[in-house]
Amino acid sequence: MSDALYPGSFDPVTLGHLDLIARGAALFGRVVVAVADNPRKKAVFTAKERVAMLRRHTRRHRNVKVVSFSGLVVDYATSHGISVLLRGVRTTSDFEFEYQMALTNRSLAPGVETVFMMPSAEYAFLSSTLIKDVVGNGGDASRWVPKDVERALAKRLRR
């Protein structure tokens, strides 16, 4: 079974992300969840905090590993012998962006394939940006993120 790399910012981790990780873990020998550490982007949580959150919520999956990375996704994948990128696609606009990225990645690393996975229906509309807006404005996001993530997000955004 191939290993898959699931890269993203995960700022914050959502139940949609966790759903995709669980389903990916059932399909691949190992899923490496790669948290992008890009200091140029203004994240709510540090890469270290996001890694900790993901590790806490994926520990039941023995074949899931959570790491942080910087640079190109395909460079991380090839340097770690991973030949599949796992990407979630919610909408047609997601698909257009992900399609461009997949073709670019294939051009940069022909041995790395991208596999698109649709979200479960209850998470199809979710985005980290939407959740940050809801929580930042005092709304309840408990049905979209783990409870500890919601508390940490509220504390950070409502200062």
**Gyration radius of the chain over CA positions:** 15
Q: Which of 23, 55, 90, 106 is catalytic?
A: 90
Q: Which of 41, 42, 147, 159 is catalytic?
A: 41
Q: Which of 50, 57, 87, 128 is catalytic?
A: 128
Q: How deeply is 52 buried, as exposed, middle or buried, from its count of CB atoms within 10 A (0-12, 13-18, 19+)?
A: middle
Tell me the pLDDT tens digit for each residue of 25-63: 999 999 999 999 988 888 999 999 999 999 999 999 999
Determine whether 41 is an active site residue.
yes
Query: pLDDT at position 22, please?
Result: 97
Determine whether 128 is an active site residue.
yes
Ordered by where they begin, the domains of the chain are 3-121 (3.40.50.620)
